[in-house]
Every structure is written in structure tokens, then in C-alpha cells.
Amino acid sequence: MPEAFEAGTVYTRREGRKPEHMKAKTGDWVQIASTVLRPGERAPQVPPDTQAVPLEMKLKGFAMTKASLGEEIMVRTVTGRIAKGTLVGINPGYPHGFGRPAPELLAIGTELRRILRGEEDDAR
Amino acid sequence: MSKDLSYSAVMARKNEIMIKSVGIDYSEFQQGPLAFDYEGMMKKAGYPLEQVAAIQAETGVGNTPLLELKNITELVRKISPSGYGARILIKDEASNPSGSFKARRAALSIYQAQRLGYKGVICASSGNYGAAVASQAAMRNLNCIVVQEVFDSRGLGQPEIIEKGRACEAYGAEVVQLTVGPEIFYVALMLLEQTGYFNASLYTPFGISGIETLGAEIALQSRVLAGRDPDVVVVTHAGGGNVTGTARGLRKAGSARTEVVGASVDLSGLHMASDRDFNRKSFTTGHTGFGVPFATWPDRVDVPRNAARPLRYLDRYVTVTQGEVFYVTEALAQLEGMERGPAGNTSLAAAMAVAQELPLEQVVVVQETEYTGAGKHPMPQLTFARENGVVVRRGDPSENKPGAEIVIPERLAQIKARDFPLENLRRSYIRNALQACGRTTLDEREVLFLIEETSAPRAFVEQALRDGGAVLGV
């Protein structure tokens, strides 16, 4: 399995790899990964750092067979396409959230309200 | 017989795939190797303004509120010279069904796809447009595939793009996620061939005429709200569609004298196709990495002739920094009670600087807002920046270093709209046009075309052509 996609898969990142989480059943909502272009096959205009790595693709669909993480599997996507790839996620979640408050932003509201209320002598 | 799916073979079939998937034969507008009939293309392949509005109304798109930013106007006046500080209005495009002005572009594309009998649509977009296409496709009962550039080679994805993928899935679309690279268009082409779906490109005449209602609404609403046409409209500039469509709409509504200012986040020095640079930026659109190349060569896109041609419409082009945009995003939330996505606030940052140059009675319109949420918000974006080695600190935004430091202003007065000379863009455009057509001898019609394309005086265009080694008047 390409390590690259493993890192982006929330399931494996957040919950670890318990044995019961490593196997997909037929019909499970899964994520697969595949390589579209290998290094050397990439578009001529891409810079050297991108030329050196493959173009990889991830998509989601319903598993058409059972499989374990890292095995080849076929999926049916929501548009009805059938696609093949390495199983990298089972019922994958979303890794994004609201992050942490940025200390650099926390004072801005107070500062601006002080200017607005005329409590700041030299706003300029 | 299976087709050759190598990069070069698929790209070589681009025109053939486009004719099938867009339903436009661009060759009928071509006038020799350089020029083409732009207005003819917009007229024949696009829709008139009234019809665009009617189509958008069918799916609840458009007619978003124009709001006065009273506290921010007051704040800007505190730091403006006496008698200066124009009224700042904002067009709340986040009120569209998918949360951004992109719903306007998608509405027309998806209507066209449905009218022509396609079973589904495909678009290559890592931003709000993907979500807009997915939302409109849901309303018109069409299948939808959105192709996104999401991850670097470590598998790390921009939080803003992950959120957009989630939104597309929420609207029932299939999301194809790719690692960094311009080959996103290659993958989209293969999917178009495989599925026979409609190409909901951002750059067709439908995609652009869909934005004209935004410009027209701004003109009409400004007359009601402020009693005058907008003096300046600030438009976030990336691929050029927003500038083009808005300016065309303003003109159609009779606001011919309104100054159109494009604004982009300065990401100079970062390569848009670089695996390393990809996650060192906090803005995935509205930045110079798109704004400059799309202005200097619009036809770099997935259709033969781009309907977005910003140099025809830009009166001024300015840049702001990532730190300034995060700062004004905070100001919009805390002083106006409007929590909106940072990328859409690029034009707000520029407007707060531009308003200081204008008399009190004038009106500056910030042309869009976009939705905010997990991933597309200052907190996750700055958290992600830090995780990728970018320094975040307060200071003077002129010390901003794209990809290395995000400097959040210490004071409101440090926010600046830095002029990017349009002459440089115009000269680059002319150089690129010469290179693309592969000729050095131009006739009068071609010179006239370049004058229109750059909206520059004849003398300027002729000089730029001669500097590029061209022979004129043959």
C-alpha cells in the first residue's frame, strides 16, 4: 500500500488498526487508492519535486467483495462506476476540523472595538 | 478497442473530448491562429442576462443580499485622512445554496447539461466550484463527479480542500481525490471519455455568463441601498471568471463607470504544481498563483478558448497578504457579526485599504463572501500552516513571506492594497499570444484583437509586439 495514502486515511490514523477494523465486507463504504502516473510519466511542465513522485488517486465506493486493508478490491461508486484499487480505508471519516484557536487572532476583536469606541488614541 | 490512456495520448484527444462533452465547436469562433470572436462566442454559446437570472432562480441561486458594513466603514474612517473613507458594502454570496458565488456558474453549466440530455456532469475543482456543481447537479437530478487536487506525496491534505470534498459527498457527488499536479485535467478528461458526461468547466461561456447576474445585482442594489452606483467593486481574482462576469454584469446594468479592482492574495515564489509548496500555502484560491498566469494567458485551461478574459475588464489589480485576510476575517466576524470563509474575504482586505483613498460619499462594494466551516476557517488553516513549518506571528504584513511566514497585522493601518502593474500583465499576455500562435507577422485584425484583449492603447500594444519581435501591418 502506498504509505502516502495511509497517512491521509482517517480510520487508520485515529483508531489504529484493530484486527476487526482491517477487513471490509461486501457492501461496506470504503476508500481505495491507485497510482495514475508513475514518476517519469508525469506531465512535462511539472517541477522536479513533483516529477519525482507518482500521481496518486483515492476514491470511495461500496465494496464489491470482501478484502483486507492493503489488498486489491473493486468498488462501485455513487455514480455507478466500477473502480479497482488498494483498500486503504473502511468507512473513512474526515480528518479536518476547527484546529486550535490562533493566539495571534485572539486580541484583534478587542483591539478593533477599542478603536471603534474611541478608546484608542492613535489608531493610525 | 481500448484507447491509449498515457498522458500525451489523452491530452492529444482534448479537443475531440471537449466537443463531445461541452457541446461547443470552438473552431467556428476562431479567426486565424491568434484571434477569435469573443463576443460572438459569448452571444452564441452563452445566455442573455434575463435568461441567466431566470435559470438561476429555478434553483434558488442569486438575489443575495447586499449589506452595509457599518462598523468596518466607521473603523476605516478612523484611520483615513479627513473627508475620506468610502462606505463599504458587501455582497453576501455565502447565501447561495452551496455557500458561494460559484453556484451562479454551476447553475448555468448544469442547466445546459440537462437541456442537452447528458446523464451526468464532471468538473475538476478543489474549491467552491466543485461543491456548487454537486449541489446544482443534485437539484437537476444528474450524476456528478468532482475531481480534486488534495494531497501532497505524504498524503497530507489541505483542510479547506478536505472540507470541499466532504461537501461534494454530502450533495451526493463522487469525489476523485488526487495528489498535487496539473494532471487533474488529464484525469478529468479520462473520466469524461469513460462516462460521456458533460464537462462543467469553469471557463465555458455558460460558466462566465452565470456571474453576470452578480455584477448586475450589485449595480441595482447599490442604487437602492446607497443611492448611487458603486464607485469601486473589488473582486477576488483567481482564474479570471469572477472579474470577467462581474464586470460584464455591471456594464449590462449601466454601471459603465464603476472601477473594477481585482484582488489576489500574494503567493509569489510558491510553485502551484510543486509537491513541496502545495501545503505551505493557506489559500487554495484567490491568489496570485492563479491570478497572474490566468490573466497573462487565459487559454491555459481545459477548453480551447477561455470565456474568462480578465485583462479586458480589470481597471486595477492589487495584492494583499494571507495575514491581512485572516485579520479582516476576524474583523468581519467580530464587528459585523458575519462569520465567513477567509478566501472570500480577500476582496474585503483590499476594499478596506482602497476605501481609505476615496471620499466619504463614495461606495466600495466587496463583491463576495463564502461559507465557512470546519477546515475553511482561520483556526484550522493557521493550525495546518504551523504543522507544515510555516511561522505565524503578529507584525508588519510587509514582512510576509509566502510559504514561510504568515504575518498577522498588529494594526489596522498596516493593511495595504499593493498595486500590481497591469502593464506588466498586458506585456506578458502579448508575449504569450505571440508564442502560442507561433508567428511574428501580424495583420491589422490581429492587432485590433490584442487591443481588445488587453484593453490597452494601440501604441502600447504595438510597442509590446515589436519588443516581442513581431512585424506589423502586413
Whether B251 shows a pLDDT value over 50: the answer reads: yes
pLDDT above 90 for A23: yes
Sorting pLDDT into bands at 50, 70 and 90, what band is A122? Answer: low
Q: Do residues B265 and B220 share a domain? A: yes
- pLDDT of residue A123 exceeding 90, the answer is no
Phi and psi torsions of B227, nearest 5°: 75, 15
On chain B, the residues whose CB falls within 8 A of the CB of A97 are 159, 374-375, 380
**pTM (2 decimals)?**
0.94
Are B315 and B390 found together in one domain?
Answer: yes
Query: Of B204, B233, B253, which marks where a domain is finished?
Result: B204
The closest CB to that of A116, out of B71, B326, B374, belongs to B71
Is residue A92 domain-resident?
Answer: yes
Size of interface A-B (CB pairs under 8 A): 185
**Are the beta carbons of B375 and A96 separated by less than 8 Å?**
yes
| d(C-alpha B135, C-alpha A12), whole Å | 30
Structural domain count of chain A: 1
Nearest-CA neighbor of B461 among B433, B438, B435?
B433
Q: State percent of chain B over pLDDT 70.
A: 100
Considering only CB atoms, which chain B residues are within 8 Å of A108? 327, 330-331, 334, 408
Which chain B residues are Cβ-neighbours of A96 within 8 angstroms?
Answer: 157, 159, 162-163, 166, 374-375, 380
Residue of chain A with shortest Cα separation from B276: A49
The string of pLDDT tens digits covering residues B122-150 is 999 999 999 999 999 999 999 999 999 99
> Residue A9: its pLDDT value, please?
43
The model's pLDDT over B170-196, given as tens digits with 9 standing for 90+, comes to: 999 999 999 999 999 999 999 999 999
Rounded-to-integer distance, Cα B165 and Cα A31, Å:
13
Per-chain mean pLDDT for chain A:
86
Whether the per-residue pLDDT at A17 is higher than 90: the answer is no
pLDDT at site B15? 86
CA distance B219 to B234: 13
CB contact under 8 A, B151 and A79: no
User: Would you say residue A89 lies in a domain?
Assistant: yes
Torsion of CA B401, B403, B408, B410, to 10 degrees: -20
What does the pLDDT read at residue B282?
84
pLDDT at B33 over 70: yes
What would the mean pLDDT of A21-46 be, rounded to a whole number? Answer: 95
Range of the domain at B459: 427-467
pLDDT, residue B474, reads: 58
Instruction: Check residue B228 and report its DSSP letter.
Output: S
Measured in angstroms, the CA of A116 and the nearest CA of chain B are apart by 6
* Helix and strand counts by DSSP (H, E) for chain A: 5, 6
| A64-77: average pLDDT | 97
Residues B34 and B135 in one domain: yes
In terms of domains, do B383 and B433 share one?
Answer: no
Q: Cell match 442569486: residue?
A: B62
**pLDDT value at position A5?**
38
pLDDT at A90 over 50: yes
Has residue A16 been placed in a domain? yes
Percent of chain B with pLDDT over 90: 89
Which residue, of B419, B437, B454, is where some domain finishes? B419
Mean pLDDT of A67-73: 97
Residues B358, B283, single domain; the answer is yes
> Closest Cα of chain A to B396: distance in Å?
13
CA distances from B158 to A62, B118, B121, B261, B286 (A): 25, 32, 25, 28, 15
Closest by Cβ to A43, choosing from B182, B326, B333? B182
- Nearest-Cα distance to chain B for A20, in Å, is 24
Cα separation, B420 vs B287, in Å, equals 13
A58 touches chain B (CB under 8 A): yes
Confidence band, pLDDT 50/70/90 cuts, at residue B2: confident
- Among A8, A45, A109, the residue with its CB nearest the CB of B330 is A109
* Chain B neighbors of A116, CB-CB under 8 A: 71, 74-75, 78, 335
- Considering B204, B230, B247, which residue would you say is the last residue of a domain? B204
Render pLDDT for B262-280 as a digit per residue (tens, 0 to 9). 999 999 999 889 999 999 8
Give the residue numbers spanning the domain of A41. 3-97
Chain A nearest CA to B163, separation (Å): 7
- Chain A partners within 8 Å of B392 (Cβ): 102, 104
State whether B198 and B253 are in the same domain: no
Q: Which residue has the cell 479497482?
A: A84
Q: Based on the fold, state whether residues B371 and B266 are members of the same structural domain.
A: yes
Indicate which CATH number applies to the domain containing A74: 2.30.30.760
CA distance A92 to chain B (A): 11
Q: Is A56 on the interface with B (CB under 8 A)?
A: yes
Q: Averaged over A9-35, what is the pLDDT?
A: 75
* A residues 14-53 lying closer than 8 A (beta carbon) to B: 36-37, 41-43, 45-47, 49-50, 52-53
By CB atoms closer than 10 A (0-12, 13-18, 19+), residue A16 is exposed
Looking at the predicted structure, is the pLDDT value of residue B24 above 50?
yes
Best interface-test mutation with B: which of A13, A105, A111, A117 has the largest number of B CBs within 10 A? A105
Q: Domain tally for chain B?
A: 3
Residues of B within 8 A of A95 (CB-CB) are: 157, 162
In this complex, which of A50, A55, A59 lies closest to B175 when CB atoms are compared? Answer: A59
Tell me the average pLDDT across A86-93. Answer: 96
User: What would the grid cell of residue B393 be?
Assistant: 506571528
Residues B144, B106: Cα–Cα separation, whole Å: 12
Q: Which of B154, B274, B331 is opposite residue A108, by nearest beta carbon?
A: B331
What is the C-alpha separation between B147 and A50, in angstroms, rounded?
19
**Which positions ≥6 away from A122 have C-beta within 8 Å?**
none
B202-236 tens-digit pLDDT: 999 999 999 999 999 999 999 999 999 999 999 99
Whether residues A77 and B75 touch (CB distance < 8 A) is answered with no
In this predicted complex, what is the ipTM? Answer: 0.92
pLDDT the model gives residue A6: 40
For residue range B38-75, list pLDDT tens digits in order.
999 999 988 999 999 999 999 999 999 999 999 999 99
CATH of the domain at B133: 3.40.50.1100
